[in-house]
Amino acid sequence: MSVTGATALGPTPGTPVLEARGISFSYGRDPVLEDVGLELRVGEFVALVGPNGSGKSTLLRVLLGLLRPASGAVRLFGEDPRELHEQWRLGYVPQRPDVDRDLPATVEEVVATGRLARTGWWRRPRAEDRWAVAHAIDSVGLADLRRRRVGELSGGQQQRVFIAKAFASEPELLVLDEPVAGVDAESQRLFRESLTHLITEHSATVFLVSHELGPVAQDIDRIIVLKRHVVFDGSPQELTRTGVSLGVHRDDLPLWLEGLE
Mean pLDDT, each 10-residue run in order, the chain (261 residues): 44 82 94 96 92 89 94 95 91 77 86 85 82 88 92 84 88 86 70 81 87 80 92 89 66 61 55
The residues spanned by each domain of the chain are 16-258
**pLDDT for res 97:** 65
Is the separation of the CB atoms in 138 and 194 below 8 Å? no
Distance CA 32, CA 51 (A): 13
**pLDDT for res 98:** 67
* pTM attached to this predicted model: 0.83
Distance CA 91, CA 193 (A): 17
Residue type (1 letter), 216: V
**pLDDT for res 5:** 41
Distance CA 34, CA 14 (A): 26
CA-based torsion, 102, 104, 110, 113: positive or negative: negative
**pLDDT for res 241:** 84
Distance CA 177, CA 112 (A): 21
**pLDDT for res 7:** 41
Three-state SS string over the chain comes to CCCCCCCCCCCCCCCEEEEEEEEEEEECCEEEEEEEEEEEECCCEEEEECCCCCCHHHHHHHHCCCCCCCEEEEEECCECHHHCCCHHHEEEECCCCCCCCCCCCEHHHHHHHCCHHHHCCCCCCCHHHHHHHHHHHHHCCCHHHCCCEHHHCCHHHHHHHHHHHHHHCCCCEEEEECCCCCCCHHHHHHHHHHHHHHHHHHCCEEEEECCCCHHHCCCCCEEEEEECEEEEEECHHHHHCCCCCCCCCCCHHHHHHHCCC
CATH of range 16-258; options 3.40.50.1220, 3.40.190.10, 3.40.50.300, 3.20.20.370: 3.40.50.300
